[in-house]
Amino acid sequence: MKEYKIFLYAESAISSILFNSAKVNPRRLTEALNKEAREGWVVKAMERENRRTALFFSREAFLFVLERELPAEK
């Protein structure tokens, strides 16, 4: 049996406001995904989007669908 979770990765809103837009930091995204992988999660799907922050600012975000096997019941 499998279980799923949604994982949203986005840069901080402060970056958007200071720089007018925030791009995802590849190093931090890699670290976040590796942390999930160590817990047994595998990326099944990914969607990139620009999220609005405040009125005129946007930030890049990634939405991941993660999957892993449930431990066998005893």
pLDDT of 17 over the 50 cut:
no
Which positions ≥6 away from 1 have C-beta within 8 Å?
A: 69, 70
pTM (predicted TM-score): 0.73
Residue type at position 32: A
Segment (H or E) for 44: strand 42-53
Q: What is the pLDDT of residues 61-74, one digit of tens each?
A: 899 999 999 977 76
Q: What is the pLDDT of residues 18-64, one digit of tens each?
A: 544 457 788 989 999 999 999 999 999 999 887 666 666 667 789 99
Indicate the pLDDT class of residue 3, thresholds 50, 70 and 90. Answer: very high
